[in-house]
């Protein structure tokens, strides 16, 4: 049988195991020989060959850096922008019509003229009103992840690159050339 010291030691180990990973199934872990020897020294186990303390003592040899009940994850937000909501309505991918949660979909807002560039000059010459602006399409496009990666709308980043939460640099066009936003804002 256990002495008071051994029972307290077993209880402490059970408590540590329960606190490290709540809700996980506890199973016998490998015991450390020195720890077992020090726990059973001068107790009822001395001199008895039939009593085996291995069945009663549960210890951890090495403590993991994080409790084992958590699974590893690739991204801090798990690739979504849900933040505590249980369910998010799906949207359809503009390319392949796949159902994607709205917070996970890659969203792009595009503004395009209704008229082709080749026909703009002919239309502006034929206009009665000189200050008439041609109408434009304002479209919000949703992409699933696979279509966005395939179309190079988003790119696969390295493990260190994924940690960066800064938005990517935005480029503007000025006189048909790609210009960084700081240069586009400067007056000439």
Q: What is the pLDDT of residues 53-105, one digit of tens each?
A: 554 454 555 445 556 677 888 888 889 999 999 999 999 999 999 999 999 99
Give backbone dihedrals phi and psi of 177, rounded to 5 degrees, phi first. -115, 150
* Mean per-residue pLDDT over the chain, rounded: 75
Cβ contact 59:35 at 8 Å: yes
SS3 (DSSP) at 76: coil
User: Do 134 and 115 contact (CB within 8 A), yes or no?
Assistant: yes
> Model pTM?
0.54
In Å, how far are 16, 138, 170 from 143, measured between CA atoms?
47, 16, 19
pLDDT at 10 over 60: no
118-132 pLDDT, tens digit each: 898 899 888 898 888
Confidence at residue 71, expressed as pLDDT on a 0 to 100 scale: 84
Q: What is the pLDDT of residue 68?
A: 62
The pLDDT score that the predictor gives to residue 137 is 94
Tell whether the model's pLDDT for residue 48 goes beyond 70.
Answer: no
């Amino acid at each position: 049988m256990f002495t008071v010291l051994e029972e307290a030691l077993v209880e402490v180990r059970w408590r540590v195991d329960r606190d490290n990973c709540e809700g996980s199934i506890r199973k016998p872990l490998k015991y450390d020989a020195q720890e077992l020897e020090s726990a059973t020294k001068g107790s009822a186990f001395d001199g008895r060959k039939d009593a085996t303390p291995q069945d009663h003592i549960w210890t951890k040899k090495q403590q993991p850096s994080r409790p084992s009940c958590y699974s590893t994850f690739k991204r801090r937000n798990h690739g979504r922008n849900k933040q505590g909501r249980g369910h998010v309505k799906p949207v359809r991918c503009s390319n392949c019509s796949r159902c994607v949660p709205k917070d996970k979909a890659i969203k792009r807002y595009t503004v395009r003229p209704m008229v082709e560039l080749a026909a703009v000059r002919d239309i502006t010459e034929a206009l009665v009103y000189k200050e008439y602006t041609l109408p434009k399409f304002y479209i919000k496009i949703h992409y699933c992840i696979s279509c966005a990666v395939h179309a190079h709308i988003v790119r696969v980043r390295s493990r260190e690159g994924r940690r960066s939460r800064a938005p990517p640099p935005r480029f503007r066009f000025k006189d048909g050339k790609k210009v960084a936003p700081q240069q586009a804002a400067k007056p000439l």
